[in-house]
A = this chain, B = another copy of it.
Amino acid sequence: MSNPTAAMIVIGDEILSGRTRDSNMHHLAGQLTEAGIDLEEVRMIGDKRGTIIAAVQAMSAAYDYVFTSGGIGPTHDDITADCIAAAFGVPIDVRDDARAVLAEHYAKSGTELNAARLRMARIPDGAELIDNPVSAAPGFKLKNVHVMAGVPSVFTAMVASVLPTLTGGAPLISKTLRIERGEGDIAGPLGELAEAFPLLSMGSYPFQKDGKYGAHIVIRGNDTDQIDRALSQLEAAFS
């Protein structure tokens, strides 16, 4: 049985302009791998309504789980929630449960819950809230799409809230062998090994550091015994 599949949509002009370096994708990728969910595609797109809607529709249909980051704050360029509602053809408005979360949070600091902040309580009909222990304003889940914040500390906290609700598969096991030989010398034996173990995936990631060079060979799969056998055959070939 194969693992559930996932995709991520990173939303924000600041990522595409190079102003901000995204770190959410790398975090989510590691978490999903540990949970046995295969992240198969990531799209990074700008704050454009049509683009966001099209990506959400395409990826929601193609993958078991979809995760978005970015565009759910209080400013005019935060349009993700409205785009998600449009993508699924459901109404969106300030919702009482989300407003209550914000009201409680801002009351503590004596901050006014003004019109801009209330935008963060706009939740599409039928969505479940995602807990935000960092700054209160919730994410939400609609169908198979999990809508989360772009600020890394908040994104990370929301992923932690969401993970226990996902159904994972067999976690991918991964073992690495460091070989101090040129990739061109490793490629032949590695290719034969890959053919001999069709259920394993083998990757070669070259390095060059402190005057040494070579490659990290990563063998991935669901069966530890097979991975260990492949690893020792590879080791034997280069000893």
| Residues of A near any B CB (own CB < 8 A) | 10, 12-23, 25-33, 38-47, 51, 73-77, 111-112, 114-117, 119, 151, 153, 172, 174, 182-188, 190-191, 194, 201-206, 208, 218, 220
Instruction: Please give 14 more A-B residue pairs, beta carbons under 8 A apart, in addition to A22-B26, A74-B187.
Output: A17-B39, A18-B28, A19-B205, A40-B45, A40-B46, A42-B43, A43-B43, A74-B183, A75-B187, A75-B191, A75-B204, A115-B188, A116-B183, A151-B206
A109's nearest neighbour on chain B, judged by CB, is B182
Is A182 a contact partner of B111 (Cβ separation < 8 A)?
A: yes
Residues of B close to A77: CB separation below 8 A: 194, 201-204
Report the minimal beta-carbon distance from A40 to chain B, rounded to whole angstroms: 6
Q: Closest approach, in angstroms, between the C-beta of A114 and any C-beta of chain B?
A: 6
The one of B41, B45, B183, B218 in contact with A44, judged by C-beta atoms closer than 8 angstroms, is B41
Q: Are A174 and B19 closer than 8 Å at their CB atoms?
A: yes
Distance (whole angstroms) from the CB of A185 to the closest CB of chain B: 7
Q: Is the CB of A184 within 8 A of B43?
A: no
For A205, what are the chain B residues with a Cβ–Cβ distance below 8 Å?
Answer: 14, 19-20
In angstroms, how far is the closest chain B Cβ from the Cβ of A111?
Answer: 6
A15 to chain B: which residues have CB within 8 Å?
Answer: 29
CB neighbours of A40 from chain B (8 A): 16, 45-46, 51
Q: Could you say which residues of chain B place their CB within 8 Å of the CB of A43?
A: 41-44
Cβ contacts A to B, 16 pairs, < 8 Å: A13-B201, A14-B203, A16-B29, A16-B40, A22-B26, A25-B44, A40-B51, A41-B45, A73-B183, A75-B191, A75-B204, A76-B191, A76-B194, A115-B188, A116-B187, A117-B187
Query: Closest B-chain residue to A119, C-beta based?
Result: B187
A220 to B92, CA, bound (A): 30
* Cβ–Cβ contact A73 & B204, under 8 A: yes
Asked whether, in the complex, the Cβ of A19 is within 8 Å of the Cβ of B218, the reply is yes
